[in-house]
Chain A
Amino acid sequence: MSAAASPTGAASAVSAGQNPAARALIRRHRLRWWEALPWIAGIAFYFAFPDYLGFGCDLLVTILFALSLDLALGYAGIITLGHAAFFGAGAYTVGMLATYNIWTEPISSLLLAAVAAGVIGLLSGLVLLRTTGLTLLMLTLSTMALLYEAANMGAAYTGGFDGLPSLPIGPVFGVFEFNPLYSNTQYLFALAVLFVCFVFVRTLVYSPFGQSLTGIRENVLRMHAIGSPVRRRLIVCYTISAALAGVAGALSAQTTAFVNLAVLGLDRSATVFIVLILGGYGRLYGAFIGAVVYLALEHFLAQIYPAAWQLGLGLLLVLIALFARNGILGLGDALARRYRARRPT
């Protein structure tokens, strides 16, 4: 074989599309039928459980928050326990704008919250994405702690520990009012926002940019060696993730008409982390599965064992950590692969 190894050599006229690997890559971003299921379920929930729409809003907000974390943690491998910083930033942006009657229109409020959280993500990311591992983890925690204390000390504006109650939220499109007793509008609004954000994230992770984030997660030294501007990519990713977390926080403030310090707490960061691990990180729908399982468990276990519901959750996590490192969806993948391997090809 003395043929020159020119990568662009037109010697072989074989089209890439004939190789199964190339076909898989070309088709990966295409929609599959089951991707409609979460949205059908979301709409069905609206009609089936009209009394649980408050719970439903909570669920949708959690999914969106977990999705934002998935982009940073699952795709780019940015280890963070401080994502509530951005959730809180978004929530307080909406809360303060509404409380002081500066701005109550819900859609533009969401955008303002995204910008506020994104700016905090960008500024903190410029500093903390120089580090990795435990240092990074501690710095994300510190960022959150700083914001928490700032919100606590600025009680004159943020309401401090008591928070900001009874936020006036304007009607959607100037027509659909948020009724504090019935969450119908809130639920549909949250579902629509989640849908838009999901389409955005889905587009992103299947793009070459998203592919390069996966590369950074898998082997950062290799990414440097192929000339990738790694830090810039990480900062862009972290900023987008922060902005999405801000939207989730803002949505939480709008649907509950309430903000307090808990939106900035470690509890919230840890919960969303658990949700993502539970569902499976780096796979888009892990956020959905994780949020549904977590909140459903929390709901039912709290009814059965009001004093010790976290015990059941802890046991589930132990099982996941031992037997399903990639979460519930990862477990499904592994089973599917085993099934396919057994089938003769």
Chain B
Amino acid sequence: MTDIRLETQALSRRFGALVAVQGIDFKLAAGARHALIGPNGAGKTTFINLLTGVLPPTRGRVLLSGRDITGTAQAERVKLGIARTFQINRLFRGLSVLENVCIAVSERTGAAGTMFTAAGRRTDIIDESMQLLQTFRLADVARHRISELPYGRQRLVELAITIGLKPEVLLLDEPAAGVPSAESHIILEAIERLPEHIAVLIIEHDMDVVFRFAHRVTVMVSGALFAEGTPREIEADARVREVYLGQAGHGASHG
């Protein structure tokens, strides 16, 4: 483990009597490919929401490259380099694929505050967005509205938007969720082709994805950290099998 991009210290969040996330100490190194797994309701998405600033923690701290960002607003954290995708697509459904990415890119470059220059004159932003779409093999549907795309390709747009923000830390909340298995390889390939320096944390239920993609795996159960290790260690861990993999009926024996 070299230099730590994202770190949490005793991070907790309660909703009334329910402790959704409990005292989590977690580190994500630069260039990491880290998977976060756990049964439904383990608090994985809440954890992501705490990392991105959607929710304030009840206790604990979040550090980005050593800097305390616990009180930093969501939009500010994005500027500092934390980007995420959502479990369910959150796209501009009525706009074209290209516009979806352009909006993100102009937000990143600070162009989005410009009032008196036409967006069409910012060919630098349009060029960059088009190249992103080419990377994700979306160039052929660039002018289609999101609502006209199959779900799998919409997931790719989510990824393209997020990469357009040039993040240091990328949080992927079940990127292949809801994608028909025939299409899911497109998503996985796209994730594998992500720039190497980005620290990636991926929440995933599909063990095939986890073992193919992750170098390290963290298991969360009932809001707390349960185990952490390499995919092989986690696969071999009898306790993990019991609480988690056992339920999936040995879906993990892919590798």
A positions within 8 Å CB-CB of B: 1-9, 12, 14-17, 19-22, 24-30, 203-204, 206-212, 214-215, 218-219, 221-230
Q: Does B16 contact A (CB under 8 A)?
A: no
User: In this assembly, does B196 line the interface, its C-beta being within 8 Å of a C-beta of chain A?
Assistant: yes
Which residues from chain A contact B166 at a C-beta distance below 8 Å? 7
What 0/1 readout, one digit per residue, does chain B (191-203) give for beta carbons within 8 Å of chain A? Answer: 0011110000000
State whether A24 touches B143 (Cβ < 8 A): yes
Q: How far is the CA of A5 from the CA of B161 in the complex (A)?
A: 13
**Is residue B86 contacting chain A, with contact meaning CB distance below 8 A?**
yes
Question: Does A215 contact B142, Cβ atoms closer than 8 Å?
Answer: no
Q: Contact between A29 and B119 (Cβ–Cβ < 8 Å)?
A: yes
Q: In angstroms, how far is the closest chain B Cβ from the Cβ of A40?
A: 24
**A27 with B120, Cβ < 8 A, contacts A218-B93, A222-B92 known:** yes
Distance of A41 Cα from B165 Cα, bound (Å): 46
Roughly how many angstroms separate A29 CA and B74 CA in the complex, as a whole number? 32
- The answer on a CB contact under 8 Å between B165 and A19 is no
A29 CB contact (under 8 Å) in B91, B112, B120: B120
B115 adjacent to A209 (CB under 8 Å): yes
Are B165 and A209 in touch, CB under 8 angstroms?
A: no
Residues of A within 8 A of B118 (CB): 28-29, 203, 206-207
Measured between alpha carbons, how far is A3 from B194 in the docked complex, in Å? 10
Stretch of B38-46, B130-138, B225-233 on the interface side: B130-138
A226 to B160, CA, bound (A): 12
Contact check, B84 vs A22: say whether CB atoms are below 8 A apart. no
Binds A, one of B29-37, B59-67, B100-108: B100-108
- For the complex, give the distance between the alpha carbons of A26 and B132 in Å: 17
Q: Are B78 and A5 in contact (CB under 8 A)?
A: no
Q: Which residues of B contact A225 (CB under 8 A)?
A: 52, 74, 78, 83-84, 86, 90
Q: Say if the beta carbon of B127 comes within 8 Å of chain A.
A: yes
CB within 8 A of B75: which of A16, A20, A211, A227? A227
**Complex contacts, A223 vs chain B, CB 8 Å:** 103, 107
Contact A8–B75 (Cβ < 8 Å):
no
In the complex, how many residue pairs between chain A and chain B have their CB atoms under 8 Å apart? 173
Tell me whether B163 and A21 are in contact (CB under 8 A): no
B binding-site residues for A, Cβ under 8 Å: 52, 54, 74-79, 83-84, 86, 90-99, 102-104, 106-108, 111-123, 125-132, 134-136, 139, 142-143, 161, 163-166, 189-190, 193-196
Evaluate contact between B193 and A8: CB separation under 8 angstroms: no
Contact B78 A25 (CB under 8 A): no
Q: What is the chain A residue whose CB lies nearest that of B189? A: A1
Which single member of A4, A20, A28, A218 contacts B193 (CB below 8 Å)?
A: A4
Shortest distance from the beta carbon of B186 to any chain A beta carbon, whole Å: 11
**Cβ-defined contact, A227 with B117, below 8 A:** no
Is the pair B108, A203 in contact by a Cβ cutoff of 8 Å? no
Contact A207 B116 (CB under 8 A): yes
Tell me the complex Cα distance, A271–B170, Å.
Answer: 48
Are B92 and A214 interface neighbours, CB within 8 A? Answer: yes
5 contacts between A and B (CB under 8 A): A7-B135, A20-B142, A21-B98, A22-B98, A25-B98
Choose among A12, A19, A30 the residue with the greatest number of B CB atoms under 10 Å from its CB. Answer: A19
Which residues in A have their C-beta under 8 angstroms from that of B77? Answer: 227
Contact B194 A19 (CB under 8 A): no
- A19→B108 contact, CB < 8 A: no
Quick check: B193 and A3 within 8 Å, CB to CB? yes
Task: Tell me the bound Cα distance from A215 to B123 in angstroms.
Answer: 19
Pick the contact of B92 from A2, A203, A218 — CB < 8 Å?
A: A218
Q: How far is the CA of A215 from the CA of B112 in the complex (A)?
A: 11
Given A29-B119, A222-B91, A227-B165, A208 contacting B86 (CB threshold 8 A): no
User: In the complex where A4-B193, A29-B119 touch, is A208 in contact with B93 (Cβ < 8 A)?
Assistant: no
User: Nearest residue in B to A229 (C-beta to C-beta)?
Assistant: B75
Contacts known (A27-B120, A203-B118); A7 close to B90, Cβ less than 8 A: no
Set of chain B residues within 8 Å of A222, measured between Cβ atoms: 90-92, 161
| Chain A residues positioned under 8 Å from B134 (CB to CB) | 12, 14
Complex partner residue of B107 from A7, A206, A207, A226, CB under 8 angstroms: A226
A226-B161 CB under 8 A given contacts A7-B132, A17-B123: yes
**B136: min CB distance to chain A, Å:** 8
Closest CB of chain A to B235's CB: distance in Å? Answer: 27
A206 to B106, CA, bound (A): 13
Q: How far is the CA of A211 from the CA of B106 in the complex (A)?
A: 9
Whether A26 contacts B123 by the Cβ 8 Å rule is yes
Please, which residue of chain A has its CB at the minimum distance from the CB of B101? A7
Contacts of B139 in A (CB 8 A): 19
Cross-chain contact B130 with A212 (CB below 8 angstroms)? no
Q: Once the chains bind, are B112 and A228 in contact (CB under 8 Å)?
A: yes
Residue of B76, B92, B125, B131 touching A215 (CB-CB under 8 A): B92
